Each structure stands twice: as structure tokens, then as C-alpha cells.
């Protein structure tokens, strides 16, 4: 029975996507309710699977049907283990609440049938990705999620000015269609590299079935190690996909522009689904490389964990620093998402630094994924309500909304405190778990980077709440405007449920963490004590991590509280007086100039290269025509064909056909480039 629910959990949203056009004639409300019903049915089916977590001896469980038998054997199936059960429920239930929110938010939006179709297709694709028992169909779900996100980010693809992001003037703006294309290209680049890693993996393992890959890992990793550098190459390729999808450095620049889509789309992409798929896939790969490193004792496998940890740490710091100066509400939350996913990657990378850290690091990464899904979904949905109320995306055009939006203020404050890691909110427990793994691994540089990112997180979160709810009211947010009010009941309900979930998880935080650790420990490989071992971390006080967390909250949160909530000083005047602060502000506002460099190197470089090739090729062709080279080549080819025709007439005819087709193609290309 559980297997039936597992299949239905990802099939039902796909059916909902396909049947949405059938409900168009029944009206917008009936169409929306039907779409939400399919998402709710998927959530109920996925929730039914949680009973298996109480019976870990039945896990892992697989149900599969043969899809191909020749030339290779491939099965389409579902894999139920603690990782897939936890992540699938996060995806299904958060997505269901977001769909409920959409009933109010999208009530007056045009072309809403396309929206409901894409949302259900997105949810079904993500659940296929999470529950698939085979890397091939994991990749199918992976690509479907990417295509849906492209369409949803560029939902306003006709590019009305009201939906452009960026700015404010005189800074440049970006159109929704361009933002969607940027997401598709950047994530697609990582996807293709990951596909190369999967193909190399298949070459050595002879299978893409996940359980078989785990079981036979000692054999195929040993064969892979026989070719020096291969494991390192595969590590880079397999990580490229998650780095792109989860917006980690250096493929992180697409996510701030993903804010061009409707508010619920931002919540869906940033909270429960697309950006979490990269973390999920890294967690899928962790046992394989842990076996190679600690069981087969191949040191090259350590590259996977080192890269993951450092990419996560650098991203956490980099994105959090950019959030310090953001003016767009959803873009500030986007930087926060990138940073928090960096914490998850950091924990999963540290899981491979020692056999003793495997369960702890693995748990910390997935636990932070779980808590982040709740508080970030709540933050984005509340942000959508605020933006609808004031008709502006900029925080400096808000202010003083606490009285006008009391429920939204309460929900967003709860979620913000969780994001900061204030005890006893769930973000405190999960972020503390990540820092404990840093400390236990002896990687004090990584710990320092994580603490610095926590300082930035405290600052930009208090700054955001202060500018939106506690600052001086602007022309758009004054109390007398009748449009500045709470959202519709469906919007308030979804945010309230998420806020209640945040509070409940905060109270149950240690119990949830211990339960997850026990489940994962029972399923992860039992690693022997290796012949080589990294030096153990020196003993430290158990109060060190809580002390670091408290210090980060005070150092980051207190100045923001004084400037943006209590309004004890003028930030703009402070920037004007300090040249150093002004330069730092510009550097962070320009996103470390990384996005500018990418635009100059990749976009501008491609245009410059295309122009150079076209000019040089045209010049060479004109010279060749002037000298009569095409006539000479054609005459020589004709003589050669006549000479060979008597010996191999059929071959000659085929060659002539190919040559004619090539000439036609080249002529068409030359006409197009002119």
C-alpha cells in the first residue's frame, strides 16, 4: 500500500497539470480549486509514507517497472528511504500551502491556467526527482524542474514594465523574460556537466540504480581509481549540477533575478523545491564517496567532500554579505536563500571529513533543509502580501506597515527570528548543528566563515524587518491608503500554518534532530576505522558554539536594531561621511562584480567572438571568390567524381548527395550571417 501512495504522490500533480485545461470552462475559481486539490492529494499520499519512518527495518524499499531492457536495462521506480521520505514530505506539504496561498494571490492575474499547469508540473517533477530509484529518471525530473522554473520565472514573458526587477533608477532593470532565460542557461550549464559525470559513473558501475550503486560502490570506485584523476573529475562534474540548481558559487548569479516571477513562485523555488534539489542530490552522492574514501581508502574521493564544504562556506559568506545592502524585498530574501543553502552544503561536505562525522554532518545538512523550508516559505509568502499591498518591490518605499499588516508582521517576524537563529526557533537548532560539525571536524577556518555569515544574516534580517514594518511610513505605505491591507483569507491561512509550524518545530527542535540522526545512522554505510586518519580536533567547551551564536546575533542584530528599528542614526549620512564604508557599499551593491564579469566575459564575449568570426569568414570568402578558388575546387571535385564513378557508382552518388547538401547548408549560413 505504501508503494501505491509513493507512485501516486508524483503522478497526481502531473495529472493535475495535464487536466487543468479541462477546468477552464468551469471558471477561474473552479480551475484553481482543482489545481490545489491535486497538490493536496499528493501531499496526503506523501504524508501517508511517514509511517515507514517508525519502522526503519522496512527501509529502504523499492518498487520499479522495467522501462528498457536493451541495449541497457533501466527501470522506472520509487525508492523509499529516510532521505527521500523527509525531503518528499517537505516538498509536498510546503508546495500545497503555497498553492493555497495562490488562490488569493493569483485571483486577478491574467492567463492563470498556464500558472496552475506549470505549478502542478513543477511539484510532480520535483517529487519524481526525489523519489526516483534511478539516476536516469532523477535527471529527467531534474530537467523538468528546470524547464518549469524557467517558465515560471518568466511568467510575465511579455515584459510589462510593472514586473521588471532591478533598479531603482538610475540602476539597470531586468525584464522577466531575460531573468527566466538567465536561470535556464546558468542551471543548464551545470546540468550538462552533471550528465557527463553520470555517464562516466555508468561506464564504471554498469548501472544507474541507486541501491545497486551503493552496494557495489567498493568495486566500481576501485576500478575508477585505476585511472588517476577520474574520481576528481567525476566529483567536479557531479557537483556542477547541484551547484547550479542550488545557486552556489560560482553558478549563483541567476537566483537574484529569479525574483521576476510571481511571489508564490519565489516561495516555491526558494523554499521547498528547486534550490533544495541540489542539496538532496549531494546527499544522495555522499554515501558513495564516503565508501570510497573510508572503506576502500582512496584519498582522491576526499575531493568531493572538500569541494562541497568550501563551496558551501564561501557561498554562505558571499551571499549573506550581498544581502546587507539589498533594497528589493524579495532579492534580500533570495540572497538569504543562497546563503542558507551554503550552510547545508557545508554540513554535507564536512560529513565526509571523518567516519565519526558522517551521520552528524548528514543530519545537520538535511535538518537545516527542513527548517529552512518552513521559515523561508513563510518569509516569501509574507513578502508577496507586502508587495501586493504597497505596489512596490523596494523596502525603502515601505515602512511603518506594522499597524496596517499586523498578521503579516507577526508571521514574518517569527520567520525572521528563525532565519537569524534566535533560540528557541528552529533555525537556531539547525544552524547550531552545522557549526557543531565544523567544530568537531577541526576546520576552524570554515567555522569562522560560518559565524561571519551568521553575523551578516542577523544584520540583514533585522534591517529588512525594520525597513518594512518599523521605519517611517512612505507615501505608498501610510495608514490612510485603503489598499494597504492584509491579503485574502487563503493567503493569511497559508502564512499562519507555516508560522505555527515554525513555532512547533522550534519547541521540538532537539527531538527532531535526534530522530533524524538515528534514522540516517541506521541507513548510512557503517564505515570502518581507516588506516589513515585526519588529526582529531582539540577538545573544546560545549558552550563554545552557543556562545558564538549569541555573539553573532548581537554583533549583527544590535546595530541593525538601532539604525532600522529604533532609528537612532542616519545610515545615509554615515555612508556619506566614510569613504571606506561607501566603497564597501558599492562593492556589495555590485555583487562583488561577479555578475558584471559574467556579463562581460560570457555574454559580451560570445557577441564579440560571433562578430569577429563573421567578419573574418566573410573577408576570407570574398577573397576566395575573387581568386576563383570555388571554381577551381569545384572543377577538381568534378574530375575526381568522374574518375571514380566507373569503379564505385553508388558510392559516388552518395558522396555527391552529401556534398550538395553541405553546399546548400553553407550557402544558407553565409546568407544568414550577412
In three-state secondary structure terms, 354 is coil
With b for 16 or more beta-carbon neighbours within 10 A and e for fewer, the 121-135 pattern comes to bbbbbbbbbbbbbbb
CA distance 356 to 559: 39
Among the listed residues 276, 387, 259, 404, the one whose alpha carbon sits nearest the alpha carbon of residue 333: 259
In this predicted structure, the answer to whether residue 304 has a pLDDT above a threshold of 90 is: yes
pLDDT (0 to 100) of residue 670: 52
| Residue percentage of the chain with pLDDT more than 70 | 88
CA distance 21 to 12: 15
pLDDT of 68 > 90? The answer is: no
Q: What is the mean pLDDT of residues 341-351?
A: 96
pLDDT of 25: 82
- Of 136-145, 537-546, 641-650, the one with minimum mean pLDDT is 641-650
Over residues 49-77, the mean pLDDT reads 86
Q: Which residues contact 58 (CB under 8 A, 6 or more apart)?
A: 52
Whether the ω angle into residue 60 lies within 30 degrees of 0, i.e. cis, is yes
Q: What mean pLDDT comes out for the span 194-214? A: 94
C-alpha 214: how far from its chain's center?
25
- Smallest CA-to-CA distance from 4 within 496, 662, 602, 12 is with 12
C-alpha 302/C-alpha 289 separation (Å) is 8
Give the pLDDT confidence of 538-592 residue by residue, as tens digits: 566 678 889 999 999 999 999 999 999 888 888 888 888 888 999 999 999 999 9
The C-alpha atoms of residue 39 and residue 26 are separated, in whole angstroms, by 19
Q: Are 182 and 255 in contact (CB under 8 A)?
A: no
Q: What is the pLDDT of residue 650?
A: 57
Model confidence at 529: pLDDT above 80:
no
Report the pLDDT averaged over residues 127-148. 94
pLDDT band at 51 (very low <50, low <70, confident <90, very high): very high
Does residue 443 register a pLDDT over 80? yes
| Rounded mean pLDDT, 624-639 | 65
Stretch 458-463: mean pLDDT, rounded?
Answer: 95
d(CA 248, CA 154): 21
Q: Is the pLDDT of residue 431 over 90?
A: yes
- pLDDT score for 642: 67
- Name the DSSP letter for residue 229: T
Average confidence (pLDDT) over 221-228: 93
**Quick one: pLDDT at residue 666?**
58
**pLDDT at res. 643:** 66
Output 662 or 533, whichever has higher pLDDT: 662
Q: What is the pLDDT of residue 210?
A: 94
Burial class (CB in 10 A: 0-12, 13-18, 19+), 530: middle
370-383 confidence digits (pLDDT tens): 999 999 999 999 99
- Phi/psi for 351 (5° steps) reads -60, -25
Average pLDDT over residues 585-603: 89
Model confidence at 236: pLDDT above 80: yes
Distance CA 302, CA 292 (A): 9
Strand partners, 642: none
pLDDT surpassing 60 at residue 535: no
pLDDT number for residue 622: 67
- Looking at residue 275, its pLDDT comes to 86
**pLDDT category of residue 606 using cuts at 50, 70 and 90:** confident
Greater confidence (605 vs 11) lies with 11
Residues 238, 83, 125, CA angle at the centre, nearest 5°? 65
- Domain boundaries defined on the chain: 2-525+551-589, 597-673
pLDDT band for position 170 (50/70/90)?
confident
* Mean pLDDT along residues 510-522: 92
- DSSP for 76-116, please give it: EEEEESHHHHHHHHHHHHHHHHHHHHHHHHTTT-SSHHHHH
Q: List, for residues 121-136, the tens digit of each pLDDT value.
A: 999 999 999 999 999 9
Residue 127: what pLDDT? 96
| DSSP state at residue 174 | E
What is the average pLDDT across 156-184?
89
Average pLDDT, the chain: 88
Nearest CA-CA partner of 465 in 336, 333, 320, 564: 564
Mean pLDDT for the stretch of residues 291-306:
93
Percentage, residues of the chain above pLDDT 90: 62
Amino acid at each position: 500500500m505504501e508503494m501505491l501512495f509513493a507512485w501516486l504522490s508524483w503522478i497526481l500533480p502531473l495529472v493535475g497539470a495535464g487536466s487543468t485545461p479541462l477546468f477552464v470552462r468551469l471558471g477561474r475559481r473552479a480551475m484553481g480549486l482543482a489545481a490545489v486539490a491535486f497538490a493536496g492529494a499528493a501531499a496526503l499520499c506523501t504524508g501517508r509514507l511517514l509511517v515507514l519512518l517508525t519502522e526503519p527495518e522496512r527501509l529502504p524499499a523499492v518498487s520499479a517497472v522495467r522501462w528498457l531492457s536493451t541495449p541497457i536495462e533501466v527501470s522506472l521506480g520509487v525508492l523509499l528511504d529516510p532521505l527521500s521520505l523527509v525531503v518528499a514530505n517537505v516538498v509536498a506539504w510546503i508546495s500545497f500551502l503555497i498553492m493555497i496561498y495562490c488562490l488569493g494571490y493569483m485571483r486577478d492575474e491574467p492567463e492563470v491556467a498556464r500558472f496552475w499547469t506549470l505549478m502542478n508540473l513543477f511539484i510532480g517533477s520535483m517529487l519524481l526527482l526525489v523519489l526516483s530509484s534511478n539516476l536516469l529518471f532523477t535527471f529527467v525530473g531534474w530537467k523538468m524542474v528546470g524547464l518549469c522554473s524557467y517558465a515560471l520565472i518568466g511568467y510575465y514573458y511579455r515584459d510589462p514594465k510593472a514586473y521588471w526587477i532591478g533598479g531603482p533608477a538610475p540602476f539597470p532593470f531586468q525584464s522577466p523574460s531575460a531573468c527566466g532565460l538567465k536561470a535556464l542557461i546558468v542551471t543548464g550549464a551545470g546540468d550538462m556537466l552533471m550528465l557527463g559525470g553520470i555517464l562516466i559513473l555508468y561506464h564504471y558501475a554498469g548501472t544507474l540504480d541507486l541501491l545497486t550503486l551503493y552496494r557495489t560502490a567498493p568495486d566500481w570506485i576501485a576500478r575508477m581509481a585505476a585511472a588517476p584523476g577520474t574520481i576528481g573529475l567525476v566529483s567536479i562534474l557531479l557537483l556542477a549540477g547541484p551547484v547550479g540548481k542550488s545557486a552556489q558559487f560560482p553558478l549563483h548569479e541567476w537566483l537574484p533575478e529569479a525574483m521576476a516571477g510571481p511571489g508564490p513562485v519565489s516561495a516555491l523555488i526558494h523554499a521547498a523545491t528547486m534550490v533544495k534539489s541540489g542539496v538532496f542530490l549531494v546527499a544522495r552522492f555522499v554515501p558513495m564517496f564516503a565508501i570510497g574514501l573510508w572503506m576502500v581508502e582512496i584519498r582522491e574521493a576526499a575531493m568531493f567532500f572538500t569541494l562541497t564544504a568550501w563551496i558551501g562556506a564561501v557561498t554562505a559568506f558571499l551571499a549573506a554579505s550581498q544581502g546587507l545592502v539589498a533594497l528589493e524585498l524579495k532579492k534580500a530574501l533570495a540572497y538569504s536563500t543562497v546563503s542558507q543553502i551554503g550552510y547545508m552544503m557545508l554540513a554535507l561536505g564536512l560529513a565526509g571529513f571523518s567516519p565519526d562525522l558522517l551521520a552528524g554532518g548528514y543530519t545537520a545538512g538535511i535538518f537545516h533543509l527542513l527548517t529552512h523550508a518552513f521559515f523561508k516559505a513563510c518569509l516569501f509568502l509574507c513578502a508577496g502580501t507586502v508587495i501586493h499591498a504597497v505596489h512596490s518591490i523596494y523596502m525603502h518605499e515601505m515602512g511603518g506597515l506594522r499597524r496596517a499588516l499586523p498578521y503579516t508582521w507577526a508571521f514574518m517576524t517569527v520567520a525572521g527570528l528563525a532565519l537569524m537563529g534566535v533560540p528557541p526557533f528552529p533555525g537556531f537548532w539547525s544552524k547550531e548543528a552545522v557549526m557543531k560539525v565544523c567544530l568537531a571536524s577541526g576546520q576552524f577556518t570554515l567555522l569562522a566563515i560560518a559565524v561571519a555569515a551568521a553575523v551578516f544574516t542577523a544584520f540583514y534580517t533585522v534591517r529588512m524587518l525594520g525597513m518594512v514594518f518599523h521605519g517611517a511610513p512612505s507615501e505608498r505605505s501610510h495608514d490612510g491608503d485603503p489598499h494597504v491591507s492584509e491579503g485574502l483569507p487563503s493567503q493569511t491561512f497559508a502564512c499562519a500554518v507555516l508560522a505555527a509550524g515554525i513555532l512547533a518545530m522550534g519547541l521540538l527542535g532537539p527531538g527532531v534532530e535526534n530522530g533524524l540522526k538515528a534514522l540516517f545512522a541506521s541507513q548510512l554505510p557503517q564505515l570502518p576505522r581507516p588506516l589513515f586518519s585526519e588529526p582529531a580536533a582539540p577538545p573544546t567547551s560545549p558552550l563554545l558554539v552557543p556562545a558564538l551564536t549569541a555573539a553573532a546575533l548581537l554583533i549583527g542584530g544590535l546595530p541593525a536594531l538601532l539604525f532600522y528599528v529604533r532609528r537612532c542614526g542616519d545610515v545615509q549620512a554615515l555612508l556619506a561621511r566614510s569613504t571606506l564604508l561607501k566603497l564597501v557599499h558599492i562593492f556589495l551593491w555590485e555583487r562583488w562584480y561577479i555578475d558584471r564579469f559574467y556579463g562581460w566575459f560570457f555574454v559580451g564575449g560570445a557577441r564579440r567572438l560571433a562578430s569577429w568570426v563573421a567578419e573574418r569568414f566573410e573577408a576570407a570568402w570574398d577573397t576566395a571568390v575573387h581568386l576563383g578558388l570555388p571554381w577551381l575546387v569545384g572543377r577538381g571535385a568534378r574530375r575526381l567524381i568522374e574518375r571514380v564513378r566507373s569503379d564505385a557508382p553508388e558510392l559516388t552518388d552518395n558522396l555527391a548527395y552529401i556534398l550538395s547538401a553541405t553546399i546548400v547548408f553553407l550557402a544558407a549560413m553565409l546568407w544568414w550571417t550577412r
